[in-house]
Amino acid sequence: MPVSFPAAAIREQLMAKDPEYQRLSEEHARYAFQLDRLASKRYLSEQEQVEEVRLKKLKLRLKDQMERLVQQTRPESS
């Protein structure tokens, strides 16, 4: 079984050196913050519920893009 490069180490490396990964991470954090604000409300209006769904989809898309960068950076196993 090949030893794999830990994904956490790759994420750390990308965060330090890759502007695209940094941008995606910042956007992801911004959506997470907006979702936290919505989650703290006792009741969401219909418009807020739609916004919550939209934010969740955007946040997931960013996470997928970030994971793709991690996979592209992962060293090939022999």
Tens digit of each residue's pLDDT (9 = 90 or more) over 11-59: 999 999 999 999 999 999 999 999 999 999 999 999 999 999 999 999 9
- Tell me whether residue 47 is in a domain: yes
- 45: domain range? 7-73
In a domain, 19, yes or no: yes
Asked if residue 32 is part of any domain, the answer here is: yes
φ, ψ dihedrals at 28, nearest 5°: -60, -45
Q: Which of 75, 63, 73 is nearest to 27 (CA)?
A: 63
Check if the beta carbon of residue 34 is closer than 8 Å to that of residue 55: yes
1 domain-assigned: no
DSSP 55: H
Give the model's pLDDT for residue 1: 34
Domain count of the chain? 1
| This model's pTM is above 0.85 | no
